[in-house]
Amino acid sequence: MGKEKTPKRKPGVCIPWEEKAKELPAILGDEELVRKKWEDIDALGYVYIWQCLLSF
């Protein structure tokens, strides 16, 4: 066996907040609240993808 690569993303994440935050304009409000909401929505997308894969 060769070298095993370390995954760049944590399990359960499609697009990490660190990547998404770079695409967004400066956040004037509570950045922690925006991060939490992004992670919640991203987790739902991840679950949806897995559900589709396992259903068929």
**In contact, 14 and 42? CB cutoff 8 Å:** yes
pTM: 0.76
Mean confidence (pLDDT) of the chain: 90
Per-residue model confidence (pLDDT) at position 9: 82
Per-residue exposure over 10-46, b if at least 16 CB sit within 10 Å of its own CB, e if not:
eeebeeebeeeeeeeeeeeeeeeeeeeebbeebeeeb
Predicted confidence (pLDDT) per residue in 21-44, tens digit: 999 999 999 999 999 999 999 999
Per-residue model confidence (pLDDT) at position 1: 56
Predicted confidence (pLDDT) per residue in 4-24, tens digit: 777 788 888 999 999 999 999
Name the nearest CA neighbour of 11 among 43, 33, 37, 41.
Answer: 43
Query: Where do runs of H (alpha helix) occur along the chain?
Result: 17-23, 31-55
